[in-house]
Structure 1
Amino acid sequence: MKQKFHYATITEAISQLKEQGFTLEFNLVGNEFKTEGQTYVADEFEIVDLYRYEGTSDPADESIVYALLSSSGVKGILVTSYGASTDESSAETIRQLHYKYQQSK
């Protein structure tokens, strides 16, 4: 899907996504999204939209907000630091989600 909106801040993006039903706040651990005592397999999700933010003083200070949807209808948000050091399995999961996102365009 093509990015539909650009929000000025990460907070604004998260607020608007929550209004659209993306209410869960995910943490990525390996190939799983964890939230509120629940665990979901990341392979069951696709990126619906994403928003990139770059720090004004440091280009390395970049974050990405992902709007995620599972095949069963679960909606959530994942916020990651771009290029941040993560374990290899989490980094591979993000790469796979990006690949599926690019293929859907």
Structure 2
Amino acid sequence: MKNYDTLSEAINDLISNGYTYDFNLHQDCIRCASISIEIHPEDFEVDEFYRFEGMSSTDDNSILYAISSKNGIKGLLVDAYGVYSENLNEKMIQKLKMKH
């Protein structure tokens, strides 16, 4: 894993490495609106993750996940340090748990 100074630097580099889709976190899956798909925990892997701490507030803390699916779709998911984890089902929590 590389070291990045900013979230935007990491996003730009990972996009250049093929992580081109934007994933959104949902209760039981990640979704990609641009291609209208849902990917469930058993169908994706977290290849890399990076933590970023906000300068002015802990509310700015986030984790960037580089994710690849079994069907070859690679994309990025940004999570605000587990802010949404209380809304996730157990499989999603376990899939992302070690990263928080």
Once the two structures are TM-superposed, the CA of residue 6 in structure 1 deviates from its matched residue by 1.1
Structure-2 residue corresponding to 1:38: 36
Structure-2 residue corresponding to 1:64: 63
The whole-number CA distance in structure 1 between the counterparts of 2:6 and 2:50 is 10
Structure-2 residue corresponding to 1:79: 78
The equivalent position to 2:21 in structure 1, one of 8, 18, 24, is: 24
Once the two structures are TM-superposed, the CA of residue 20 in structure 1 deviates from its matched residue by 0.5
Once the two structures are TM-superposed, the CA of residue 32 in structure 1 deviates from its matched residue by 2.2
CA contact (8 A) 1:32 1:39 kept: no
TM-score, structure 2 as length reference? 0.81
Q: How many residues align?
A: 97
Greater share of residues in strand: 1
The whole-number CA distance in structure 1 between the counterparts of 2:59 and 2:53 is 7
Deviations 1:36-68 (A, max 9, x none): 141222311110000000111223431000000
CA contact (8 A) 1:69 1:75 kept: yes
Structure-1 residue corresponding to 2:51: 52
- Paired AA for residue 20 in structure 2: T
The whole-number CA distance in structure 2 between the counterparts of 1:54 and 1:40 is 29
CA contact (8 A) 2:25 2:31 kept: yes
Once the two structures are TM-superposed, the CA of residue 86 in structure 1 deviates from its matched residue by 5.0
Structure 1 residues not aligned, in runs of 5+: none
CA contact (8 A) 2:39 2:69 kept: no
TM-score, structure 1 as length reference? 0.78
**What is the CA RMSD across the aligned residues, in angstroms?**
2.3
Once the two structures are TM-superposed, the CA of residue 75 in structure 1 deviates from its matched residue by 0.4
CA contact (8 A) 2:51 2:61 kept: yes
